A and B are shown apart, each in its own frame.
Chain A
Amino acid sequence: NAGVTQTPKFQVLKTGQSMTLQCAQDMNHNSMYWYRQDPGMGLRLIYYSASEGTTDKGEVPNGYNVSRLNKREFSLRLESAAPSQTSVYFCASSEETSGSPSQETQYFGPGTRLLVL
């Protein structure tokens, strides 16, 4: 199993450009997440999808949109990139099973490093 994969690994954008970050998991997990990580700060949740067909805002959703394409894939889109969105983006997944709290662990991808000039 590859686990959680992300593409691209690195991207440079100019202010105002758009792009989509891709994420896929092969663990048959129900829930998927997008986080951003900035220097000196913990991971902050952008959006999450508790199950296929649903998405919800996290702590810092402004400037982003997401699509849960199917159970495996969860994409993050920047419609008009801003320098403040320079960050490392992590996708994660977890197997949400009510009544089985031990399944709440999130598994992370390797990250996408985004630089907005």
Chain B
Amino acid sequence: GESVGLHLPTLSVQEGDNSIINCAYSNSASDYFIWYKQESGKGPQFIIDIRSNMDKRQGQRVTVLLNKTVKHLSLQIAATQPGDSAVYFCAENPYNFNKFYFGSGTKLNVKP
């Protein structure tokens, strides 16, 4: 079955540094991926998405990279700020237009 996993459950970075959060997926048929941010006590919040016909997509301070060869997804956050402290999930949509499978999440701690 599908599995969406994260390499590191917790990541600590210094304020101002860049952060990289990784995600592996198992279904080569997945064609749409989303990164979500979840702050404590709140629901997940959309950050950025990418389709399988792209290798890279940039947003404001965030970049998502997709390597279909090794089925790997990463989220890069530039100049990490204390407000970036949260749990980050990746989600994949393997074959159903509206059904996603979510990873367990990586907790990002930003040290001042």
Interface residues of A (CB under 8 A from B): 4, 31, 33, 35, 40-45, 48, 50, 58, 90, 92, 94, 96, 98, 101-102, 104-111
Contact = CB atoms under 8 A, between A and B. Distances in A.
Contact of B104 (A42, A105, A110, A111): A42
Interface of B: 4, 32, 34, 36, 41-46, 49, 51, 89, 91, 93, 97-105
B105 A42 contact: yes
A104 B104 contact: no
- Chain B, interface SS category: strand
Given A40-B104, A42-B103, A108 B45 contact: yes
A43 B36 CA distance: 11
Contact of B99 (A41, A58, A105, A108): A58
B43 A45 contact: no
A105 B98 contact: no
A43 B49 contact: no
